Chain A
Amino acid sequence: MSAKNIKPQDMGKPSEQLCKIENLMPLPAPYDKPGMEPDFKEIKEDWKKNYCATLDGFVANDALKRPETKEEEEEMIKKFLNGMEKLFLEDTNRGMLQPFMLSFEYCAKCNTCSEACHVFKSSGEAEIYRPIFRSEVLRKLYKKHKQGGSLVSRFVGGDIDINIETIMRLGELAYRCNLCRRCAQTCPLGLDNGILAREIRKIFSMEMGIAPKPLHESGTIKQLTTGSSTGITKEAFLDMIEFMEEDIYEMTGKKYKVPVDKKGADILLIHNAGEYMAWPENPAAFTIIMEEAGLDWTLSSEMIGYDNVNYGIFYDDVQGRKIGAAQLKAAKELGVRRIVIAECGHAHKASMVSQDRIMTGEDNIPRESFLPLLEGLIKKKVFKLDPSRNNFPVTLHDPCNIVRMMGIVKPQREILKAIAPQFREMTPHGVNNYCCGGGSGFAIMNSFNFTDFRNKVSSRMKFKQILDAFQDTIEDAEIPKYVCAPCSNCKGAIRDILEFYQATAKFNVHYGGLVELVVNAMVDIEKPFLEFLRDEEDMMF
């Protein structure tokens, strides 16, 4: 079936693959030439057999296994329907009932939101990625479930097959949305297809125990048992901090003692623990900034206190709440005055917004973003900065969670204006930005061929924006270009697209956080802090 002619009712119709992506959105130069973009990889037979590859040929949900017997199949359908009912109950969905019901009930199917969705547009407008497609499947399933196959049911739209294929495909389709909520900004009725995608994920996770392993098994479950979704334990964390101190010394000649578990400190700084492993220069840059500014700060080595990650907000309310509460507990035990969230977008939202209503009184320790703090330090001229050290094209990616969902728009721009003379915006930017394509967990979901979907579809719009922002210099490989992404997950997604399209190798496009750029501009630090500006013998991290 053509990717454009599919209807929500087709979800239950047997076919080897409901949709095949055919007309990907073209990319700007130099990626407008043939051969510049790797093809999709073939899907393996045993993936098809054991998982759900019948939606679009990708498998995102590596915990969603095909039932082997008729009984298992029936059990799975039953559980799904039970879970779906629980979305509508006060006892089981108190925290989201009102926003969910509004979006469930009122959609006028005007399609205004489709134009806003980068997944839909990037895929060449494949119907299954239209924001209302999955919402409509859920509506139809609920109406059919409640009213059976009656005429009334069909009249109100309950015309879909409730079978294993519909449910498996929906379990996959819930992971073709980045929950970026750009579509909701355009809805004349204020409705949100992102929330419906998330609620579908909740049915699978909270009722059926099915969620992609990187989010659940090696995500929240691991974080709640070891302290971090990376698996870093307290001991490993303390070792890493020591290594980081040594690295900073070798690189800058400056000896800093990173404060850990300092009782009563003003600030508890919490990083995404993935930074220590993938981008240690980021916590190192934070260390330099906090120490040079003479702030009273600390890291925590307590359970979950050293990892601000909270994947629960992507798929499971209960996991989200447990992690949020554990982070606040770690801060309370240290007796700090406030928590500052480092460069991680979803952690910003999880900690400051999503978990804002789970604590009261003394347990509710104030949380803030590192951005206003850093902006204040730069405005007060606490550091001696030389912007000419960053004299190359720099563009800024706005993490959806920090910008569209929290309204932190200006501080990062004020900082960049002070330190990056060739800073230029992406189009569009600020609250109208496009997601990096790694949102809602995609950045860490690398099972099977899902990375192809991310790199070629969900991150495509971001890659286009990056190329557009650097059009003046993109083909000049002598000039380094820097995508500043102050968020771990966004950085992960951008790292992958730059690798996938070989944009670093061919066109000298780099990526990294914001604090690294600030430290790179510090006059007191002799050698360049950014790796791509360093000579080989200076390489450290």
Chain B
Amino acid sequence: MFLTLFTYFSILAFIGLSLLKAYEYARMPMHGRWELYPVPKEGDGRGHYGGSYYEEYEWWNKPRKVTHAGEIVDMLKEMLFIKNLFINQRRQWWVCYSLHLGIYVLFVWTFMLFVGAVTELSGTPVAATAGVWGSLVYYVTFLAGAAGAVLLTVGAGGMFLKRMSDSTLSRYTTPQEYFNLLFLFAVAVSGLVVWSGDPGFNYGREIMMALLTFSPIQADTALTIHIILLGAVMIYIPQTKMSHYVGKYFAFHKVLWENEPNLKNSYMEEIVRDALSYKPKTGTTWSAPHINPGSASKK
């Protein structure tokens, strides 16, 4: 039963700690504007060449033209394809994308394991030779699992080697950053070992069924190690900068693409009014003489 509880705990920790991280960023005070163009949501085709509403004469009297479609498309390009890296760093993109795509595909695989488990619990077998649905679930799970495992292994291992061997990258890589990649690599390799003994991922569906029915997970040594490593990495990720899936959202949406003007009687004006009425809580201030003449005279 330990493995079942541990798996539940690690899933909850991953979600909970990621949400906590998001909450910490979300509750930070409104900041001064720090946008950077192109801002894809700018309407009238401006998102494409980097224009903004400031191109309009008396812009504050004109209706604000915003295209959320533009923003979503740009966001998806970045999320799904790591567009900026592809354009600016093609050679590194291959391994980096392999790692990220591996993770995305493994999410699909996890979902398919869930579908497979529900299917089996409802009495329909999942196997290569089962009926249409059973074999479809089997093969999609197989393909996603196989692709994900290989991509993640190649990506994590490749990035580790690249960081070690590239003299520029190695100069900036901390021991923790090597450790992070090795950790992911270890999870991937332990998964490959388990998979090699059961290519159809039946063990995965069994784990899923155990979770759904809250019963003990049957695992040999290799599977136990894999589950513990996977769980540990899920607890670990949100506490490190590997949680950049959270940071990236804020960096783009709340900083680089956040160009809402403070117009009279607008919602933004309310926020600004609130921010301006803030009273410092700690009494800590900057000490330079031009800011705090008191601190200079005390000295």
Contact = CB atoms under 8 A, between A and B. Distances in A.
A221 B290 contact: yes
Contacts of A97: 28-29, 31
Interface string B205-226: 0000000000000000000000
Interface stretch (A48-56, A284-292, A349-357, A444-452): A349-357
A391 to B, nearest CB: 28
Interface residues of A, number: 91
A138 interface: no
* A interface majority secondary structure: helix
Contact of A187 (B30, B42, B84, B176): B84
A368 B59 contact: yes
A319 interface: yes
A228 B290 CA distance: 17
Given A91-B280, A109-B173, A190-B248, A408 B51 contact: yes
B287 interface: yes
Contacts of A405: 35-37
B123 interface: no
A96 B36 contact: no
Interface string A391-412: 0000000000001111111110
B287 A79 contact: yes
A207 B281 contact: no
Nearest to B291: A318
Contacts of A92: 284-286
B111 interface: no
Interface in A307-361: 317-319, 338, 352-354, 356-361
Nearest to A407: B52
Contact of B32 (A82, A357, A364, A371): A357
Nearest to B251: A190
Contacts of A82: 287
A91 B281 contact: yes
A172 B35 CA distance: 26
Given A98-B31, A190-B256, A109 B52 contact: no
Given A188-B82, A353-B33, A354-B33, A106 B172 contact: no
A437 interface: no
A7 interface: yes
A251 B173 CA distance: 63
A99 B34 contact: yes
Contacts of A156: 174-176
Interface string B150-180: 0000000000000000011101111111010
A208 B291 CA distance: 10
A191 interface: yes
B50 A409 contact: yes
A91 B275 CA distance: 12
A327 B144 CA distance: 61
Interface stretch (A111-119, A468-476, A505-513): A111-119
A83 B53 CA distance: 37
Nearest to A9: B171
Contacts of B59: 368, 372
Nearest to A105: B241
B63 to A, nearest CB: 15
Contacts of A189: 244, 247-248, 251
A372 B57 contact: yes
Nearest to A414: B55
A304 interface: no
A105 B242 CA distance: 10
B197 interface: no
Given A95-B32, A405-B35, A407-B53, 19 more contacts: A8-B172, A82-B287, A92-B286, A94-B275, A105-B241, A111-B89, A116-B88, A154-B175, A157-B175, A190-B251, A216-B290, A317-B32, A319-B290, A358-B276, A407-B37, A408-B51, A410-B49, A431-B37, A432-B50
Interface of A: 5, 7-8, 79, 82-83, 86, 89-92, 94-99, 101-103, 105-112, 115-116, 127, 130, 132, 136, 154-157, 159, 181, 184-192, 195, 205-209, 216, 221, 317-319, 338, 352-354, 356-361, 364, 366, 368-369, 371-373, 375-376, 403-411, 430-432
- Top 7 nearest A-B pairs (CB, nearest first) are A407-B52, A190-B251, A431-B50, A157-B174, A209-B288, A188-B84, A206-B286
